Amino acid sequence: MIENKTTEFKREYVDDIKYAIVAFANTDGGKIYIGVNDDGSVRGIENTDAVMLRITNMIRDSIRPDVTMFTECAIETIEEKPVVVLTVQRGTARPYYLAGKGIRPEGVYVRQSASSVPASETAILNMIKETSGDRYEDARSINQQLTFEKTESYFAKRSLPFGDQQKRTLNIIGSDGTYTNLGMLLSDQCVHTIKLAVFDGSKKSVFRDRKELSGSLLTQLEDAYSYIDQFNHTRAEFEGLERIDRRDYPSEALREALLNAITHRDYSFSGSTLISIFDDRIEFVTIGGLVRGLTFDDIMLGVSALRNPNLANVFYRLKLIEAYGTGILKINESYADFAVKPQFEVTDNAFKITLPNINYAGARKDVTATAPLKVADKAERREILLRLAGKQGYIIRKDVEAELKVSQATAILILRDMVEKGLLIKEGSGKQQKYRIAE
């Protein structure tokens, strides 16, 4: 008998046995012989029942997640002496760690040859990915020392319970009893931030102010909106004797753009959400492009596929989100009566929303001005599109853009309106999507 990657000898029970248990559960399993010397000679154990009880209690109290179902303690007679043999299988909820150390190298151990050694951070992250799936918010949080003061206050304001049962239902606590990355995002220890910057004019050349927000995503949401609201000035206009106050940005558009940036970003990347405030516009840049399977046209029509469905569910329960997939539509609708329109840009790894300042009178940068879509204009545009559809047999979105000289977003809204009114029938999807005149 010799010690190797799957075999460990202990002369007697010591608390340090927990390192080997964690290492075996994280690697390929193994057996721990208590009552055998390091050289393989058998010493034996006098009070085997007491030793087995201590092992059972130690596993329950010292190792997370619960590894009990992957361990088995038995008494074997070797060279006519009683020996306690602890069999540890490779667990399915790796990484296992010491409760007092957390999911860090000093708490997570693996087997190398005949030794139990701290796992590297890369090995820990790989274990989390292997056992938690691809969705970031479902994976176990590396930090398990989390507090939820802000989230608890949010739930309390809305008279909603926020105990362990609710945390499990919301997937803040996973099935293995540990905090998930969703829990980390909502905790006071959230590692992701929002960076805000205010620029002079319409270019990123002169900073006027900058700020980085941290803490729970709910804290960041509140702080970001309060900060932006300082720059959402109210301008007064007069129509006859009547004074009309109008803010630079529709409040609903700001709210929806901010919620979109927080709810839909890809938190598996470490970069910050960026909000840039200029004289003529505000830009929201979120890490993470479109969810696989969605096109730009889909999201402009209100189709929603959530990257972080559990986070969105929490926001929905807190009444921060009214319905999934309506944010972009609300932003567009809030600008319906104004000459300038919001812009949406997508790359493989980022999503950008630009809200123009409706009161800005100077030269604009990167914001397309179009004529207001009045009731009379709507009827005229419908007639133009119906004539074109009759002539060609169908129309596509690019036909609308070219014929009416409107942006992609506006074209999608016009087609959606005509479908809803029963004037057009939509056929196909994505690049093959066509619109024919309804019979």
What is the CATH number for 381? 1.10.10.10
Orientation of helix 327-334 relative to helix 251-263, angle to 10°: 160
Contact yes or no for 281/366 (Cβ under 8 A): yes
Q: Answer yes or no: is 2 within a domain.
A: no
| CATH number of the domain bearing residue 93 | 3.30.950.30
CA atoms of 338 and 252, how far apart (whole Å)? 14
User: What are the strands, taking DSSP E only, across 349-409?
Assistant: 350-356
Task: Based on the fold, state whether residues 44 and 181 are members of the same structural domain.
Answer: no
pLDDT recorded at residue 377:
58
**Residue 112 exposure: Cα atoms within 13 Å on the Cβ side:** 6
Q: Answer yes or no: is 39 within a domain.
A: yes
Q: Answer yes or no: is 278 within a domain.
A: yes
Task: Based on the fold, state whether residues 363 and 236 are members of the same structural domain.
Answer: yes
Identify the domain boundary among 114, 131, 148.
Answer: 131
pLDDT recorded at residue 293:
65
Task: Based on the fold, state whether residues 125 and 138 are members of the same structural domain.
Answer: no
Identify the domain boundary among 369, 402, 424.
Answer: 369
Task: Based on the fold, state whether residues 121 and 252 are members of the same structural domain.
Answer: no
Task: Based on the fold, state whether residues 53 and 32 are members of the same structural domain.
Answer: yes
Please, is 275 exposed, middle or buried when counting C-beta atoms within 10 Å of its C-beta (0-12, 13-18, 19+)?
Answer: buried
First to last CA, the chain: 85
User: How do the residues of the chain divide into helix, strand and coil, expressed in percent and rounded to 5?
Assistant: 35, 25, 40
Give 431's DSSP letter.
G
Task: Based on the fold, state whether residues 90 and 197 are members of the same structural domain.
Answer: no
Q: Answer yes or no: is 351 within a domain.
A: yes
Task: Based on the fold, state whether residues 62 and 161 are members of the same structural domain.
Answer: no
Domain total for the chain? 3
| CATH number of the domain bearing residue 157 | 3.30.565.60
Owning domain of residue 62: 7-131
Task: Based on the fold, state whether residues 261 and 389 are members of the same structural domain.
Answer: no
CB atoms closer than 10 angstroms to residue 29 = 17
CA angle 47, 49, 53 (to 5 degrees): 120
CA angle 207, 258, 262 (to 5 degrees): 105
Q: Answer yes or no: is 162 within a domain.
A: yes
Q: Answer yes or no: is 98 within a domain.
A: yes
Question: Length of the chain, please?
Answer: 439
Task: Based on the fold, state whether residues 35 and 145 are members of the same structural domain.
Answer: no
Q: Answer yes or no: is 1 within a domain.
A: no
CA angle 310, 312, 314 (to 5 degrees): 70
Task: Based on the fold, state whether residues 199 and 298 are members of the same structural domain.
Answer: yes
Per-residue tokens: 110: 């693996």
pLDDT recorded at residue 241:
66
Task: Based on the fold, state whether residues 118 and 157 are members of the same structural domain.
Answer: no
Task: Based on the fold, state whether residues 402 and 339 are members of the same structural domain.
Answer: no
**CA 408 to mean position of chain CA atoms:** 28
Identify the domain boundary among 107, 131, 155.
Answer: 131
Q: Answer yes or no: is 123 within a domain.
A: yes
Q: What pairs with residue 236 in β-bridges?
A: 245
Contact yes or no for 251/231 (Cβ under 8 A): no
DSSP sequence for 128-163? HHHHH-S-GGGSBPS------HHHHHHHHHTT---S
pLDDT per residue of the chain (439 residues) written in tens, 0 to 9: 789 999 999 999 999 999 999 999 999 999 999 999 999 999 999 999 999 999 999 999 999 888 999 999 999 999 999 999 999 999 888 899 999 888 889 999 999 999 999 999 889 888 887 776 667 898 888 888 999 999 999 999 999 999 999 999 999 998 878 899 999 999 999 999 999 999 999 888 888 999 999 999 999 999 999 999 999 998 877 666 677 788 999 999 999 999 999 998 999 888 899 999 999 999 999 988 777 666 777 777 766 678 899 999 999 999 998 766 678 888 998 998 888 999 998 887 889 999 999 998 776 654 443 333 333 357 778 888 988 888 888 999 888 888 887 777 778 888 888 888 889 998 887 767 899 998 7
Give CA separation, 349 vs 135, 147, 324, 384, in Å: 16, 31, 22, 37
